[in-house]
């Protein structure tokens, strides 16, 4: 039986432990991680994947691009695809820091709870991999999207990067602290918190009585959580009359989706998984 080999090409110095575990749980027989992957060294890694097996076995080799920087991940992902020609190709997935799978799980659960079209959505700390993908997926659902950052400049840079990839520019808001983020969510219907692990972004008092906020999702499971008053296990739970999703509430779907995508990488040598089709799968699984 030909072994299923998953090559983790990580733009961080060390390949992700999380992605390694989910690679095995998704069905790979071996997960081989490379850290420090750049545009300069990725070509030789791809060549090793595409030239080594015959047409019938090639589907059992696949590439997963990860790392903490989604812009670097996107560039490596593009370089991987560019290296393919004719049937010298293998399946490939982009999920820097769980960006696509985490954002897809969160937005799909929100969309399952209520239609998002025409709603105002604010992605708090929307400059990281998860927040940037969440902004894109909220836009796919027809929401009007803004992202915040502690620095207006970083918000603008992320907004531009989102436009480069998805062709829309979320409003960029500089919000240095919880008070500024409380002001940023005024008038919004949806709040999606995508801040770094263990970083509180919004206090409970700043959303519980808000007249417009209808739904909140928080990706950060480690206390203190991103949105005060959200329990990590909440999964479309009603709190203060609003629908609330916590990091572990969406984490179950994220893991299911991540594993399902890895499994599908080995079904043919032509799968290409990124935001749009990962989001479509999240909606089907939600
Ligand atoms: N639930 C799940 O299944 C799951 C899966 C994967 C990831 N996650 C979680 O998803 C969240 C987002 O992941 P990510 O990789 O996109 O995050 P990240 O890149 O580490 O951080 C996102 C943003 O948080 C902001 N931030 C960092 N430290 C801050 C601080 N002290 N105060 C205020 N803002 C701060 C930064 O924005 P600015 O510098 O622009 O302000 C940063 O760009 C993390 O909490 C991660 O643990 C959850």
What is the arithmetic mean of pLDDT over 200-222?
98
pLDDT at 85: 97
Taking the CA of residue 196 as reference, the ligand 1 atom at the shortest distance is 21
Indicate which residue's Cα is closest to atom 20 of ligand 1: 196
* 216 to 74, 76, 176, 265: CA distances (angstroms): 28, 32, 20, 32
Using one digit for the tens of pLDDT, what is the confidence trace for 165-198?
999 999 999 999 999 999 999 999 999 999 999 9
Average pLDDT (214-228) is: 97
Tell how far the Cα of 197 is from the centroid of ligand 1, in angstroms: 6
Tokens of 262: 């890895």
Nearest to 98 by CA among 236, 233, 230, 261: 261
For residue 270, the CA-to-ligand 1 centroid distance in Å is 32
CA of 12 to the centre of ligand 1 (A): 16
Fold agreement between 5-98+256-285 and 101-250: yes
Can you list the positions of beta strands (E) in the chain? 5-10, 30-34, 61-66, 91-94, 120-124, 144-149, 171-174, 190-193, 215-218, 235-239, 242-245, 272-273
**Pocket (CB within 6 angstroms of ligand 1):** 97-98, 102, 125, 127-131, 149-150, 154, 194-197, 199, 219-221, 247, 250-251, 254
Among candidate residues 136, 217, 194, the one with its CA nearest the CA of residue 170:
136
Mean pLDDT to the nearest integer, 107-127: 98
Query: CA 165, 166, 171 angle in degrees (round to 5)?
Result: 105
The tokens for 21 are 């575990």
Task: Among 127, 130, 182, name the best residue to mutate to test ligand 1's pocket (greatest count of ligand atoms within 8 A of Cβ).
Answer: 130
Ligand 1: which atom is nearest the Cα of residue 248? 1
What pLDDT does 102 receive?
98
Quick one: which atom of ligand 1 is closest to the CA of 150? 41
- Quote the pLDDT of residue 150: 98
pLDDT band at residue 261 using 50, 70 and 90 as cut-offs: very high
Distances (CA, A) of 30 to 9, 161, 215, 253, 259: 14, 33, 40, 24, 14
Domain boundaries, the chain: 5-98+256-285, 101-250
240 pLDDT above the threshold of 90? yes
pLDDT of residue 186: 98
- The class that CATH gives domain 5-98+256-285 is alpha beta
Give the pLDDT score at 1: 87
Spell 251-281 as b/e; 16+ CB within 10 A means b: bebbbbbbbbbbebbbeebebebbbebbbeb
* pLDDT at position 49: 98
pLDDT at residue 56, rounded to an integer: 93
Q: How high does pLDDT run on average in the chain?
A: 98
Q: Which of the following CATH numbers is that of domain 101-250: 3.20.20.450, 3.40.50.2300, 3.40.50.300, 3.40.50.720? A: 3.40.50.720
Closest ligand 1 atom to the C-alpha of 254? Answer: 3
- Is the pLDDT reported for residue 216 higher than 90? yes
Q: What is the CA radius of gyration of the chain?
A: 19
Tokens of 196: 């770094």
The stretch 101-130 carries a mean pLDDT of 98
pLDDT at 36 over 90: yes
- What mean pLDDT do residues 127-142 have? 98
**pLDDT given at position 246:** 98
Render pLDDT for 265-282 as a digit per residue (tens, 0 to 9): 999 999 999 999 999 999
Tokens of 246: 């916590």
Residue 5 to residues 20, 30, 61, Cα–Cα distance (Å): 12, 5, 5
């Amino acid at each position: 039986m030909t072994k299923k080999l998953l090559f983790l090409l990580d733009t961080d110095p060390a390949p992700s432990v999380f992605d390694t575990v989910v690679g095995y749980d998704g069905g790979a027989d071996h997960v081989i991680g490379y850290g420090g992957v750049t545009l300069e060294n990725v070509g030789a890694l791809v060549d090793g994947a595409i030239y080594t097996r015959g047409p019938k076995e090639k589907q059992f080799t696949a590439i997963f691009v990860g790392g903490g920087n989604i812009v670097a991940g996107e560039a490596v992902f593009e370089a991987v695809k560019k290296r393919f020609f004719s049937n010298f190709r293998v399946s490939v997935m982009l999920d820097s820091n769980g960006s696509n799978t985490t954002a897809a799980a969160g937005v799909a659960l929100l969309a399952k709870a209520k239609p998002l079209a025409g709603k105002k959505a604010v992605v708090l700390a929307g400059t990281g991999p998860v927040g940037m993908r969440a902004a894109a997926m909220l836009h796919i659902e027809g929401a009007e999207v803004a992202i915040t950052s502690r620095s207006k400049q970083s918000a603008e840079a992320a907004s531009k990067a989102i436009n480069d990839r998805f062709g829309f520019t979320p409003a960029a808001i500089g919000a240095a602290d919880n008070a500024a983020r409380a002001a940023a969510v005024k008038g919004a219907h949806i709040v999606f918190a995508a801040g770094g692990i263990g970083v509180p972004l919004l206090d409970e008092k700043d959303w519980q009585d808000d007249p417009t906020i209808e739904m909140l999702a928080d990706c950060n499971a480690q206390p203190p959580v991103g949105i005060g008053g959200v329990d990590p296990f909440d999964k479309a739970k009603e709190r203060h009359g609003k629908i609330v999703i916590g990091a572990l509430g969406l984490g179950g779907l994220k893991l299911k989706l991540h594993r399902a995508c890895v499994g599908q990488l080995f079904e043919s040598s032509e799968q290409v998984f990124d935001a749009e089709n990962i989001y479509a799968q999240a909606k089907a699984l939600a």
